[in-house]
Structure 1
């Protein structure tokens, strides 16, 4: 498989696409969406371009694929942003024209269900960017988290190394997007807890693969966008994080166990495990239950890794994925995990 290449970067003043490859939630929740568009214009100097399915709930996989093709094929569009995630982007993959996208590489920003498109891009020879959806990160009430803003700005406009740092303050408690009062002030945050390192005795530099654990599991079940020659992942950096669905520790273990049985886990030299989301509007866990959920997930991950990849370097609670701040990680790009120095550096 061809090693993915970094596509050209946009500049302030350029047009960027905003698409909804998963769910048309901008049509249901315009407040965070419009705020995200405004920040693209005012904070980043970019002009967002929408497509027919961007605000449409219930659009077909073909319609969403058409929007993706239009965004990548337009020479005047210099980057592509997902509005948000969802749960059925896997149905869009069969409609995507790999040669069209390979011939028109552009930076793509998205996470969660957009793991599908990120994996597709990687297999098409294009580095994508895990993070920075319009509604969640750019549409954050009050202001963007400064670490998200700094990371996104570096990923958008610069090339070269960028050092990730543990969150100074973070949160995973949300407020109702349908309530205008939600956007009157920034959400409450709590002090950062740093990263936890396991097997930190070496320096690893490799290309990334993975994403939202639930989506990775679906891709594996459908046998979509997974290298058939697993040596493709040798020495790489595995990215895993869990969503607001909050899969149980048992489910996390079983998914990792299946990856281990397939021979995947031992291929990677490092695992960056995202800080788990422990609260949702449907499951508003009190602090003690939230802490227990996070602890149980960590033990599930450790149990699987000790069985299938005991020497892998692991970093827990890296701030990417479904919590806030959200650091942008190049997907298919290079990450350096320096265990002795306790440093993580990505290449944008």
Structure 2
């Protein structure tokens, strides 16, 4: 693969595209969406631009692809951000014009189902950003989490290294977006627990790839945006996190086992594992139940790595993905994992 292209960064006052490549949930829950737009304007000084399907539930894959194309092709738009995830963005990928996007590279921010578009950009040779959707991160009740605010600001505007820090306080319990009371106060948070390190005896630096584990499984099954030449991932840093669907430890292990059988898992000498979400409206686990769920997921990851890549350095409970705060990680960019000093530095 050629040297990845880091798109030019926006500046305060620039226009940022706000698109819904997955679900048009702003149409159902306008409150967190409007709050996120307001913060793009007032906190970051950017002017959000919406597209025909941004607030449209049930938009066709072609319609969503059209919005992606319009956002990347517009010379007055300097960055692109997803509103939220979903579960069918994989159906949009066949409609994308790779050459159009390659010719108009821009920073793209998204996570969850947007792993599809991030993997597409990686395969196209463009560095993206995992994290910071409009509704989930920017639409946070009360105020932005300060670590989310700091990380996103650096990713948007400041090229160069940025050191990640373990969350001082975090949460994974959500309020009901349909209830105005959800937005009347800061959400309740818990004290941070730090990162967990395994095989932390060296310093590694490489290009990041991965994302939401459930979406990676879909891409692998559909044989999309995963290179058949696995050497392109050699020496990289694998990003893994799970969604609010809270897959079982068995499912996590089986997905990673399949990645190992494909010869993919062992390409990455370092893995960053996002703090797992341990609560959802469908499974409102107590803190004690959530801790057991998280421990089971951790053991599933370790079990797969022991079988296929036992020397891999692993960092657990990094605050990216579906919990809060939501640190922004470059996708296809450089991540430095310093085991002896217990430090993670990304290059924005």
Residue of structure 1 in register with 2:143 after alignment: 143
| 2:342 matched residue in structure 1 | 342
User: In structure 2, how many angstroms separate the alpha carbons of the residues matched to 1:303 and 1:246?
Assistant: 18
Partner of 2:198: 198
CA offsets per residue over residues 37-73 of structure 1, 9 Å max, x none?
Answer: 0000011100000000000000000000000000000
Partner of 2:23: 23
Residues 25-64 of structure 1 mapped to structure 2, 5 A cutoff: 25-64=25-64
* Counterpart Cα distance in 1 of 2:172 and 2:3: 35
| Cα offset, 1:5, TM superposition | 1.2
Distance 1:299 1:155 in 2: 32
- Counterpart secondary structure, 2:205: strand
- Take 1:46 and 1:316, find their aligned partners in 2: how far apart are those partners? 33
CA distance in 2, matches of 1:330, 1:316: 18
1:235 is paired with a residue whose SS is: coil
Residue of structure 2 equivalent to 1:214: 214
Q: Distance in 2 between matches of 1:172 and 1:3?
A: 37
The CA distance in 2 between the partners of 1:42 and 1:326, in whole Å, is 19
| 1:278-289 alignment runs, 5 A limit | 278-289=278-289
User: By how many angstroms is 1:175 displaced?
Assistant: 0.5
RMSD: 0.4
Q: How many angstroms apart in 2 are the aligned matches of 1:4 and 1:183?
A: 40
Aligned to 1:322: 322
Aligned-partner Cα distance in 2 for 1:4–1:29 = 36
What residue number does 2:156 align with? 156
Deviation of 1:137 after TM superposition, in Å, equals 0.2
The alignment status of 1:242 with 2:204, answered yes or no, reads no
Equivalent runs, 1:235-314 vs 2, <5 Å: 235-314=235-314
Match of 2:112 in 1: 112
Partners in 2 of 1:201 and 1:54 — Cα distance?
46
Q: Which structure 2 residue ranges, 5 or more long, are not aligned? A: none
8 Å Cα contact 1:4/1:123 also seen in 2: no
SS at match of 1:316: strand
Provide the residue aligned with 2:172 in structure 1. 172
Counterpart Cα distance in 2 of 1:324 and 1:84: 15
**Distance apart, 1:3 and its partner CA:** 2.8
Deviations 1:294-320 (A, max 9, x none): 000000100000000000000000000
1:102 match: 102
Please give the secondary structure, in 2, of the residue aligned with 1:250: helix
Q: Could you say what secondary structure the match of 1:320 adopts? A: coil
- Paired with 1:13 and 1:342, the residues of 2 have a C-alpha distance of 37
Structure 1's unaligned 5+ residue stretches are none
**Displacement after TM superposition at 1:281 (Å):** 1.1
What's the counterpart of residue 91 of structure 1?
91
**TM-score w.r.t. structure 2 length?**
1.00
Q: Distance in 1 between matches of 2:3 and 2:198?
A: 28
Distance in 1 (CA, whole Å) between partners of 2:122 and 2:75 is 21
**Structure 2 Cα separation of the partners of residues 80 and 186 of structure 1:** 27
Q: Report whether the alignment pairs 1:223 with 2:238.
A: no
Distance 2:215 2:113 in 1: 6
* Aligned equivalent of 1:127: 127
TM-score computed with the length of structure 1 as normaliser: 1.00
- Give the C-alpha shift of residue 2 in structure 1: 2.0
Please state whether the residue corresponding to 2:18 is helix, strand or coil. strand
By how many angstroms is 1:287 displaced? 1.3
